[in-house]
Amino acid sequence: MPTVTISVDCEAASMGKCYTRELVRAAEEFTAPLTWLIFASEKDPLSNISLYHNEFYHRIPSWHEFGLLLGFEDSSGYVSDPALRGDIIRVGRDAVKQFHIKPTAFRAHRADLQASDLRHLEDLGFVVDATPCPGAREKHEVSWPEGPTQPYHPSYENLSTPGDAAIWLAPIAGYRGVSAYLDLGWEKVRPIIEHSLANDRVANLALSDYVDSADTLRKTLALCREKGARIVTLTQMASEL
């Protein structure tokens, strides 16, 4: 029986559109828990967190999960220095905690995870990262190198190599160079999902809250049920490995 995780990149506060209500309704129809990754950065630490706290936190069932989607930028622009990146992770974690959320699931915005981030994530209590899209493009057309396609403990030196890190990396499912973002629409994402359900132990799927993907989510959940898949949050998946 395949295990499926579905995470939502929550960036609507800065995108002008929000389909969270529709996504919650679709998930409720199938009693399917989603992992809601709230976007924050040092440049904009609170807008999405405030939006979800004020509008949606009470609408999303407690058996869903909230995590952190983090952008590595500050008022000066992109941040590459490992120590400063660690500070940004801490700021993002603390911003979410202000709203009584203790995040244990993480994704780096624009697939921008570095090996030096791993120890910072572990020190701050994160147990699973869902950034990698090995051999495929993510929604911002960022391509990752080939690597493990199933959850693994990475090397502290090379994210694409299994190693001794305590954190799990949970790669987004991919097929023929495209990752399983439901933003693409059902016709494009269906072959990726079918391939992952048929071949993978864990199918890690994703979508964005500012794209109208509710119908694609319903079709995805129906296909998962048809194939006998079990749908869990990212942290639950990691805890069971």
Read off the tokens for 21: 């209500």
pLDDT for 151: 98
Q: How many whole angstroms separate alpha carbon 215 and alpha carbon 221?
A: 10
pLDDT for 43: 86
pLDDT for 94: 95
Put residue 16 in one of left, alpha, beta given phi > 0 → left and psi -120 to 50 → alpha. Answer: left
pLDDT digits (tens, 9 = 90+) for 9-47: 999 998 989 999 999 999 999 999 999 999 999 888 899
pLDDT for 99: 85
Neighbours of 141 (CB within 10 A): 8
pLDDT for 143: 87
pLDDT for 63: 95
What residue spans of 15-138 are helical by DSSP H? 20-29, 47-51, 82-97, 117-123
pLDDT for 33: 98
Give the chain's residues under pLDDT 50: none
- pTM here? 0.97
Q: How many whole angstroms separate alpha carbon 111 and alpha carbon 170?
A: 13
Which of 192-199's residues contact partners 24+ apart within 8 Å by CB, and which partners?
Answer: 193/220, 193/223, 193/224, 194/223, 196/2, 197/2, 197/4, 197/223, 197/224, 197/227, 197/229
Class assignment of domain 3-240?
Answer: alpha beta
